Each structure stands twice: as structure tokens, then as C-alpha cells.
């Protein structure tokens, strides 16, 4: 086949040269084109990197062209309104419409299969009540909090400056300031762009302690106290893990680090910015609670909580035991579901690691109820929260408020291009390229963030009213039903086991007993011995001429020979932090 293609190209080139010698200038142009194709075909046959080009010279390049435009073809021409991922077209459309302040109604009825297993629906009341004039709010602040905060039902979730452009951060900050809802900073530090419009902030502290770290990357109490005292900082969130990549830290490549980012994070220029997989300030559930108290003291009693994606139930119960032993409780806990978003994560982590939000949220809610702690701690939910019905479902499942990240990005202009990790976001939301983010108009997009939040929270309040209750605290699991097979639906009250208040303290229920007994305030993780030995593989052989693995698939693989990666290749964000615990108090 390949020799036939080369022969045809050679014949085409010969014919056009003969025609050009007898005809007009146009034939010479065709001859040049034919010779160029012939040269390309010969190159494809001789190169050794791509088998498809050796077998199908020139024609094989159509594969790479079609592959490059596949995402756009899929999104704009193939996917239906209800089957796009991560967010389907209907969800994206409602976000865009509300951001523009437009009517988000739709005609002719639902396109969803209401008889499909897994379909969920809310129960309305025969006697709806009037929705409130003002939006519902939840007070965040436990018994040791001096400055409680009244939280909106929906808020801007953690997204760092560095992952987002400065214009995107400014737009979200402006919208949050207009709407009176929280803008969570992300672990990348408290920057001038988070402070620009005066929005209420929850400052997120990750394992890199960006903005409050010493020269060795450990927590710096003095730097933290100085920034936490800012009047716009209303609360502190300790990030333990992220739904899209639990068990990993993060890496901001050196190429994306600008002088502004370096200053905000207290990191040097020209070096990858690494967040370890774990914290250096604590390594046990008990030390975590002491760190919560330490931050609350340093911030003069502002609300302090933590965010994590649920892994082992034993870990959750160990945290609860640590609260009981120390008498220290966080003011809030945010549960991040495995369906949550990220700027960059390995596919295996995005698809196969971490507990989905529904199961994780209900697990933590039940654990706190069973330990008699639920009334002291507010629960937040994060992970694909985009519509009013999403908010109401999470409230029924145990949350008090929600966070949203990708939906807020869409309100700012994101088109779900999924190029966040390449620094080539086409709309300027997730890039540090000034030629791209200059197109994002802060004033306009800030108004859109405000509109989207306002209309979505308003719709959530209307749904609650249509269910016959006047306040989110009156919602209960009987009001949310799920189809479990073609003939049967069950309410969440009957579908799941709900722990009675204090039940774990008075002889744990049978389904919880083993995990409760194993939970240890001095250890995270599963430690029960296995009844069989665990075999380990031998160390891999050493391979010569290796290279570190690349974070973004190279575009020049046609012209470069692929080298083997190092057999001991590691993810720097996967390394635990060196232990540097706070002094025992």
C-alpha cells in the first residue's frame, strides 16, 4: 500500500511537471504542490516513529488531524443535551443562561429517562409555601468560635490564583462581593486579586502552606496570623485532600510561575511549585485537631475547618474520636466528592480513587451524629454542584451549604475545553498567558458570576418552598427518592442506614463496630491485620538512557524518538511531607 501511494504521488508529480512545461503558471503551482506531497510521502515512509505513516504515507496524517479536532466535534455535533461529561449540555446551558440574567426555562418537557435505574427526584408538596424574600444562610461557628459567619447555601469553591488567571479570580471576587457569598481562595495563597473587590474570603491552607510558609516550606505562624487578621478573611479551611486526586498534592510547573504567583506563594522563580501529599504540621487525627485550635487562636477565633475527600471510614471515625478526646471541634467540614474538578490530575485518580460525594457526605454526617457532634459542626458539600436541585439534594443528604468551582468557571466564561493543564485555555479562565486572559472582561464576568449565584440560590429556595417547607433545616431524607430498578423507587430514608444520635458512643451498631474499634487518634489509615501475607514484586530492572515523564503529552512526537521513562519515576506531588509537627500544647 505504501509503495502504491508513493507511486501515485510520483506519477502525479510527473504529469503536472509535463503540463506546467506546456501550459500556464498555475500548472507550476500544482507541480510544486505535487512535489511537496511526494517529499512528505518519502519522509513518512522513511521515518520510524509512527507505523501508520510508514504504511499510509500522507494519508495517515488525516488520523492526527481528526484526532486533534475530535473534542470539538464530540461537543458541538455528537453529544446529546443530557449525556456530555463532566457537565452535560443542559447543565452548561442553564449556567450560561443564568449568568446572563436570562430566563433558564425549557419547553416541551424533560429529555431524561425517568424510568432509568439511578434516576433521582425530589418530592413536592400538595401545599407549597411561599419562598423567602432573603436567601437562606447558615451560621458557621462552633462553641470556641468568636466570629461566626453566616454562609450562603452556594459559594465559590477553592481555585487558586495560578490555576486561574488573575482576571478570572477578579471576576469571581467581584461577583461574590456583589452577592454576599464566600470566595474560597484555593491553596495557592491569599493574593491581591482575592482582596480587590472586598468579597468575604475563606483562606485555604494546603500542605504547601503557600503564603504562610518559612524558607523550608513549613508552616509559619507569624505570617499566617498577619494575613488571617485581614477583615475580608472570614474563615480558614485546611485542605487535607481534593476529590479529583485524593492522596496527591499538586504541581504548578515552573513555566507557569510568574513573579506575582511567586510572591503570593512565597516560592522561588524557575522551580516547580510542589504541594506535598500530606501536611508537615500534623500526621495524626489528634494533631489535626490541635492544628485546628492553633489556627483558630492565631486568627483570633475566626471559623476554622477542613476539607477532604472521604477515603477510609476508619479515618473519619478516628477524627471523631480525636474531637472527643481533645474537646476540640472544627467549625465546619467540607466534603469534596470524587467527581470534583481539578486543573490537572492523573486519569486513574480522577476515575478510580476517592469516595463520591453522596456516599462521603452521608458517611461524615452519620459519623458526627453517632458521636453526638453534629450540632457543633456545619457540613459543606463540593463536587459538581451546579443547579438549584443539586443544592437541595446535598442539603437532604446531610450538608448545610455547598461550594461550586467549575460552574463558577462557566459563569466566568469557561466552555469546558478541558485544557486547564496546558496553559492554553481559549477563554482566558485557566491560563497565565496574558494574550489569552486579557479577553476576559472582569466587570462583565463579575456581573455574570453574581447573576448565576443569585438565580441558582433563588431556584433552590423555590424548590424548598415547593416541597412544603420554609427552611433547609426542615428537609429530610424522605423527600429525595431514587429509582433502584424498573419497578421500584425508594427514599433516601429507606435506602440508607442513618445512625441515631450518640449511637457510636453507646455500643457501635454492627455495621460500624469493626471500624469504630480500629479507629485510632494516633494514626490515619487501615491498620487491622490481614489473614494472609501480602506479596511484593521485585524491584524493576535499570533501563539506560531514560527521561523523566512529561506532564503534558508532547506535540512533537512525530519529529522526536520516544525515550524510555526512568523505572523509578515519581510524582513529586505524591511524596508525603517531612514531619515537622507543631510543639505539643
- CA atoms of 261 and 256, how far apart (whole Å): 9
Residue 519, pLDDT above cutoff 60 = yes
Q: Per the structure block, which three cell numbers stand in for 469? A: 417547607
Answer for the pair 413, 274: CB distance below 8 angstroms, yes or no. Answer: no
319 and 195 inside one domain: yes
Q: Rounded to whole angstroms, how far apart are CA atoms 405 and 342?
A: 9
pLDDT value at residue 186: 92
The DSSP secondary structure of 292-304, one letter per residue, reads: HHHHHHHTTS--E
Query: Is residue 95 scored above 90 in pLDDT?
Result: yes
Phi, psi of 455 (to 5 degrees): -75, -30
**Vertex 177: Cα angle to 173 and 178 (nearest 5):** 120
In a domain, 532, yes or no: no
pLDDT for res 543: 67
Which of these ranges, 388-397, 488-497, 534-543, has the smallest mean pLDDT? 534-543
Question: Which among 452, 405, 403, 409 has a CA at the least distance from the CA of 430?
Answer: 409
pLDDT for 559 beyond 60: no
Percent of the chain with pLDDT over 90: 61
Predicted confidence at residue 121, as pLDDT, reads 97
pLDDT: which is higher, 89 or 305: 305
* Angstrom distance (rounded) from CA 209 to CA 220: 8
Write the CB contacts of 132 (distance below 8 Å, at least 6 apart in sequence): 461, 465, 470
Q: Does residue 415 register a pLDDT over 90?
A: yes
CATH number at residue 466: 3.20.20.70
Same domain membership, residue 172 and residue 54 = no
Task: Give yes or no for a cis peptide into 86 (omega within 30° of 0).
Answer: yes
What integer pLDDT is reported at residue 80 of this predicted model? Answer: 83
Mean pLDDT of the 535-549 span: 64
How far CA 22 is from CA of 2, 13, 14, 36, in Å, comes to 31, 15, 13, 21
pTM of the full structure: 0.87
Taking the C-alpha atoms of residue 210 and residue 206, their distance in angstroms, rounded to an integer, is 7
Whether residue 184 sits in one domain with residue 55: no
Let me know if residue 104 belongs to a domain.
Answer: no
Domain boundaries, position 26: 2-69
Span 237-273, pLDDT tens digits: 999 999 989 998 887 777 778 888 888 898 888 888 8
pLDDT tens column, 331-379: 999 999 999 888 878 889 889 999 999 999 999 999 999 999 999 999 9
Which pLDDT score, from 0 to 100, does residue 280 have?
A: 94
Residues 231 and 145 in one domain: yes
In the chain, how many domains are there?
Answer: 2
In this structure, the answer to whether residues 63 and 143 fall within a common structural domain is no
Residue with cell 429530610: 476
Residue 541 pLDDT > 70, yes or no?
A: no
Closest CA to 361 of 387, 386, 389, 339: 339
Q: Residue 369 falls within a domain, yes or no?
A: yes
Task: Give how far Cα 467 sits from Cα of 106, 122, 134, 492, 532, Å.
Answer: 21, 8, 18, 15, 52
Q: Quick check: is 129 in a domain?
A: no
Please tell me what DSSP assigns to residue 574: G
The residue from 487, 518, 549 where one domain ends is: 518
Of the pLDDT bands very low, low, confident and very high (cuts 50, 70, 90), residue 225 is: very high
Q: Which of 466, 485, 518 finishes a domain?
A: 518
Q: Is residue 526 part of a domain?
A: no
Tell me how far CA of residue 265 lies from CA of 186, 222, 294, 500, in angstroms: 11, 15, 21, 44
Round the average pLDDT of the chain to a whole number and report it. 88
The dihedral through the CA atoms of 118, 404, 189, 260 has a sign that is positive
Question: What pLDDT shows up at residue 585?
Answer: 47
Which range is most confident: 8-17, 217-226, 570-579?
A: 217-226
Same-domain check for residues 227 and 334: yes
Amino acid at each position: 500500500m505504501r509503495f502504491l501511494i508513493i507511486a501515485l504521488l510520483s506519477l502525479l508529480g510527473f504529469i503536472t511537471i509535463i503540463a506546467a512545461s506546456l501550459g500556464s503558471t498555475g500548472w507550476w503551482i500544482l507541480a510544486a504542490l505535487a512535489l511537496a506531497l511526494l517529499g512528505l510521502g518519502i519522509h513518512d515512509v522513511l521515518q520510524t516513529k509512527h507505523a501508520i505513516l510508514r504504511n499510509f504515507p500522507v494519508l495517515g496524517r488525516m488520523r492526527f488531524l481528526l484526532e486533534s479536532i475530535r473534542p470539538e466535534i464530540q461537543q458541538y455535533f455528537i453529544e446529546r443535551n443530557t449525556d456530555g461529561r463532566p457537565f452535560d449540555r443542559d447543565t452548561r446551558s442553564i449556567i450560561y443562561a443564568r449568568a446572563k440574567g436570562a430566563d433558564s426555562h425549557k419547553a416541551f418537557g424533560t429529555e431524561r429517562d425517568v424510568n432509568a435505574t439511578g434516576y433521582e427526584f425530589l418530592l413536592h408538596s400538595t401545599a407549597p409555601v411561599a419562598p423567602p424574600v432573603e436567601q437562606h444562610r447558615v451560621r458557621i461557628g462552633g462553641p470556641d468560635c468568636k466570629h461566626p459567619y453566616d454562609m450562603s447555601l452556594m459559594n465559590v469553591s477553592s481555585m487558586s490564583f495560578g490555576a486561574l488567571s488573575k482576571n478570572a479570580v477578579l471576576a469571581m471576587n467581584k461577583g461574590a462581593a456583589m452577592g454576599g457569598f464566600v470566595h474560597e481562595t484555593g491553596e495557592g495563597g491569599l493574593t491581591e486579586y482575592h482582596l480587590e473587590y472586598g468579597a468575604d474570603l475563606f483562606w485555604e491552607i494546603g500542605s504547601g502552606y503557600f503564603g504562610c510558609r518559612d524558607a523550608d516550606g513549613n508552616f509559619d505562624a507569624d505570617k499566617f496570623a498577619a494575613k488571617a487578621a485581614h477583615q475580608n478573611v472570614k474563615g480558614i479551611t485546611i485542605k487535607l485532600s481534593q476529590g479529583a486526586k485524593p492522596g496527591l498534592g499538586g504541581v504548578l510547573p515552573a513555566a507557569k510561575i510568574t513573579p506575582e504567583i511567586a510572591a503570593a506563594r512565597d516560592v522561588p522563580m524557575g522551580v516547580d511549585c510542589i504541594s506535598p501529599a500530606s501536611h508537615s504540621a500534623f500526621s495524626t487525627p489528634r494533631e489535626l485537631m490541635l492544628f485546628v485550635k492553633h489556627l483558630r487562636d492565631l486568627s483570633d477565633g475566626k471559623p476554622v475547618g477542613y476539607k477532604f475527600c472521604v477515603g477510609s471510614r476508619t479515618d473519619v471515625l478516628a477524627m471523631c474520636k480525636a474531637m472527643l478526646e481533645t474537646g476540640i471541634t472544627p467549625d465546619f467540614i467540607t466534603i469534596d466528592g470524587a467527581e470534583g474538578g481539578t486543573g490537572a490530575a492523573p486519569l486513574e485518580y480522577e476515575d478510580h480513587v476517592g469516595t463520591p460525594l453522596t456516599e462521603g457526605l452521608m458517611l461524615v454526617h452519620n459519623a458526627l451524629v453517632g458521636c453526638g457532634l453534629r450540632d457543633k459542626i456545619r457540613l459543606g458539600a463540593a463536587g459538581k454542584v451546579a443547579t438549584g436541585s443539586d443544592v437541595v439534594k446535598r442539603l437532604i443528604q446531610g450538608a448545610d451549604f455547598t461550594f461550586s468551582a467549575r460552574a463558577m468557571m462557566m459563569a466566568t466564561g469557561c466552555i469546558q475545553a478541558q485544557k486547564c493543564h496546558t496553559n492554553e485555555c481559549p477563554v482566558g479562565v485557566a491560563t497565565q498567558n496574558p494574550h489569552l486572559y486579557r479577553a476576559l472582561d472582569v466587570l462583565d464576568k463579575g456581573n455574570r458570576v453574581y447573576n448565576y449565584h443569585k438565580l441558582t440560590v433563588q431556584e433552590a429556595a423555590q424548590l424548598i418552598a415547593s416541597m412544603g417547607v420554609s427552611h433547609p433545616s426542615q428537609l429530610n431524607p424522605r423527600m429525595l427518592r431514587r429509582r433502584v430498578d424498573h419497578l421500584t423507587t425508594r427514599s433516601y430514608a429507606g435506602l440508607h442506614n442513618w445512625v441515631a444520635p450518640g449511637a457510636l458512643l453507646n455500643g457501635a451498631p454492627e455495621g460500624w463496630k469493626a471500624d469504630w474499634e480500629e479507629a485510632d487518634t494516633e494514626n490515619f489509615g487501615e491498620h487491622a491485620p490481614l489473614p494472609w501475607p501480602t506479596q511484593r514484586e521485585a524491584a524493576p530492572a535499570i533501563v539506560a538512557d531514560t527521561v523523566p515523564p512529561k506532564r503534558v503529552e508532547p506535540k512533537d512526537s512525530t519529529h522526536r524518538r520516544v525515550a524510555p521513562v526512568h523505572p523509578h519515576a515519581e510524582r513529586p506531588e505524591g511524596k508525603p511531607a517531612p514531619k515537622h509537627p507543631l510543639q505539643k500544647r
